[in-house]
Amino acid sequence: MFANILKFILGFILAIAVLVGGGVAVGLYFMNRATIVPNKPIFANDEPAVKVSAPKTPTPSSSPSPTSKAEPEATPSATPTPENTDKLPPGAYKARVTWSKGLSLRKDPTQDAERIGGIGFNADIIILEESQDKTWQKVRSVSGDQEGWVKAGNTKPVDEADTQKPDQER
């Protein structure tokens, strides 16, 4: 009879230990999952309002004029080319994105402003200006295809010597 009571007590202690251990394991699992930052959701209205389109090709018309073929189309000067991005506007400087998730470009310097694009981590950009309260920066991508406002503090100024990629130095 003493052996049966000992078996019962030992079984009871073992069952409690298994339940407590399982509970702790499940608790740690869910606590660990709760600390992971989820990806930022992208909603239908978050798509860029300004779409970069390919240059328009002339549509054939029923009666083409002879002068239209002789004159080349002028490209709009508003679209920056790599040649004119080397010349920075007064007060502008080159920088690099330091925020690991990249930056959202906004139309205006407010958190509620429309999202018009994004710039990835470690991308080279040009800082054009800062807001009055110094919490927002107006930036342009080096290629010149995106321009908008980002939160200040997520970029780092770079020197011309730093803009070379490591594989280009060799």
- Residue 140 in this model has a pLDDT that exceeds 50: yes
Among residues 84, 95, 91, the alpha carbon closest in space to that of 162 is found at 95
Sign of CA pseudo-dihedral 45, 47, 53, 59:
negative
User: What's the mean pLDDT when you consider all of the chain?
Assistant: 77
Q: Which pTM does this prediction carry?
A: 0.45
The predicted structure's pLDDT at residue 38? 77
The predicted structure's pLDDT at residue 23? 96
The predicted structure's pLDDT at residue 161? 56
- Give 8-46 pLDDT, tens digit per residue: 999 999 999 999 999 999 999 999 988 888 777 777 776
pLDDT tier, 91 (very low <50, low <70, confident <90, very high otherwise): confident
Judge contact between 129 and 109, C-beta under 8 A: no
In angstroms, how far is the first alpha carbon of the chain from the final one?
A: 83
